[in-house]
């Protein structure tokens, strides 16, 4: 086993989906106030992507961070899509009033290096700590070019993005790289063919969805001794009381039923479900950092003390007794 595992210093990081107008339009002013609140609350790890708001999130993060001491915070972004000036109709995306750009999937070595340089310019900083290959995953098959699957893009990345990011790590441009994905299979596949340092796994380890991570993801993370950031512990809103599930908003009936019962048990035990969700997702020893988004200045302050709240053990016992969470799941 390698001894190279990155030592992640921060238990909590702020993500850039909401700052990129992921679910609603956020004004520049509110975006800056939210990031300022995160900084004031002690958060020093920030994650964004060219995809979020088609460059808008990176611009907003950069506007806030570029005057901070670069040695005082950790910053990550992503590669896999190249942005280009939009000369026609805006592409249909999940973003509300994004920046005026179009995009193209490209996991080649040349595109990855260009993407990192473009991100540094939008951010106004001299370096990134971590770079994640973004959305190289079966849940994006419908979004790729006609006839192209994630496995086709994976072959390009295996020969392009992955060795190029390894080279950039050796050059000292980045500290580490991995994948930022919403499914587990690409992470396992990458561990077989490349030399990654860190993964960002979203929507795969939450109170309503975690069995597959226990079965497959965590053993692989442990075996290869790589770092892991777990993102979206609320499943992009559901467990924080929003009427949406993951990023598409589709709510499967079994998830709806499970959430309703978990909510009832939380209310009976006087437990704040958002806090419980964060504690649950952070609890496994394989998880180094928890990544949570924010779109209002009040949220970072609420989130940063999530480990300080005492949750009664009977709450977790009842969830396990009703098979609402896996018996093997680590609870706080």
Active site residue 52: yes
The residue annotated as part of the active site, out of 52, 130, 259, 282, is 52
Q: Which of 7, 78, 209, 212 is catalytic?
A: 78
Distance between CA atoms of 13 and 15, rounded to whole angstroms?
A: 7
C-beta of residue 35 within 8 angstroms of C-beta of residue 68 = no
Could you give the maximum distance between any two Cα atoms of the chain, in Å?
Answer: 58
Nearest C-alpha neighbor of 157 from the set 120, 110, 90, 118: 110
Residue found by looking up tokens 């592409």 in the block: 91
Q: Rounded CA gap, 283 and 332, in Å?
A: 6
Give the active site residue among 4, 5, 29, 47: 47
Cβ 176 vs Cβ 130: under 8 Å: yes
CA 20, 23, 24, 29 torsion-angle sign: negative
**What does the alpha-carbon distance between residue 181 and residue 191 come to, in Å, rounded to a whole number?**
14
Task: Give the rounded distance of the alpha carbon of 151 from its chain centre.
Answer: 21
Residue numbers annotated as active site: 47, 52, 78
């Amino acid at each position: 086993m390698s001894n190279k595992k990155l030592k992640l210093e921060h238990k909590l990081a702020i993500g850039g989906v909401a700052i990129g107008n992921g679910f609603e339009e956020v004004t520049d002013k509110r975006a800056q106030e939210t990031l300022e609140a995160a900084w004031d609350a002690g958060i020093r790890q920030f994650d964004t992507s060219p995809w979020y708001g088609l460059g808008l999130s990176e611009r907003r993060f950069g506007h806030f961070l570029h005057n901070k001491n670069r040695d005082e915070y950790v910053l990550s972004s992503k590669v896999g899509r190249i942005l280009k000036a939009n000369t026609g109709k805006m592409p249909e995306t999940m973003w509300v009033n994004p920046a005026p750009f179009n995009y193209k999937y490209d996991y080649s070595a040349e595109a990855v290096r260009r993407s990192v340089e473009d991100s540094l310019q939008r951010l106004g900083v001299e370096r990134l700590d971590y770079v994640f290959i973004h959305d190289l995953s079966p849940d994006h098959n419908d979004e790729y070019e006609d006839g192209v699957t994630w496995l086709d893009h994976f072959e390009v990345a295996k020969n392009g993005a992955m060795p190029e990011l390894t080279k950039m790590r050796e050059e000292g441009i980045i500290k580490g790289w991995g994948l930022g994905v919403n499914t587990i299979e690409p992470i396992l596949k990458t561990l077989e063919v490349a030399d990654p340092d860190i993964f960002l796994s979203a929507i795969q380890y939450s109170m309503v969805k975690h069995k597959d991570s226990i079965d497959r993801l965590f053993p692989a993370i442990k075996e290869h001794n790589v770092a892991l950031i777990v993102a979206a512990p609320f499943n992009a809103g559901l467990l924080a009381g929003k009427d949406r599930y993951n990023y598409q908003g589709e709510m499967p009936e079994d998830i709806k039923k499970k959430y309703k019962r978990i909510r009832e048990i939380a209310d009976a035990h006087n437990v704040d479900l958002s806090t419980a969700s964060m504690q649950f997702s952070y609890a496994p020893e394989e998880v180094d950092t928890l990544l949570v988004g924010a779109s209002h200045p009040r949220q970072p302050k609420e989130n940063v003390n999530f480990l300080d709240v005492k949750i009664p053990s009977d709450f977790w016992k009842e969830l396990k007794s009703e098979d609402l969470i896996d018996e093997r799941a680590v609870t706080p």
